[in-house]
Amino acid sequence: MGANTLVCNDGDEENNRKPMPLSPDNYILLNAAQGFIKMGSYMDAEAALDDIDPFCRHLPEVLAVRVRVYQALERWELMQAVAKRMVEYDPDDAGWWVSIWNSSLEHFK
């Protein structure tokens, strides 16, 4: 894959484009982040997510993992912002609404 090759896009349906899958390198980083979460190493998970190509960080599969990292690190405002983005992708998934609600409650503790 060349240096100027895009591995994902913004999923703009108006232009009949669909999100492209993660490149193998980005997929490895996403899997690494999930592995770090299983081990309880949330800072390492965040670092792996940060190494994903900036053009791909907005994809739902990446954001879903980021919500889990922010929740574990108690970064409630960031968790809420990412969960709101996930609601845009899938408004029928109650889990994202619960994440927003949960992060809002944490501000009042």
- Which domains are seen in the chain, by residue range? 22-106 (1.25.40.10)
- Token pair for 15: 């232009």
The pLDDT value recorded for residue 83 is 84
Helices (H), the chain: 24-38, 42-50, 60-72, 76-89, 94-106
- The single-letter code of the amino acid at 95 is G
The pLDDT value recorded for residue 13 is 43
pLDDT in tens, 17-48: 455 678 999 999 999 999 999 999 999 999 99
Percent of the chain with pLDDT over 70: 68
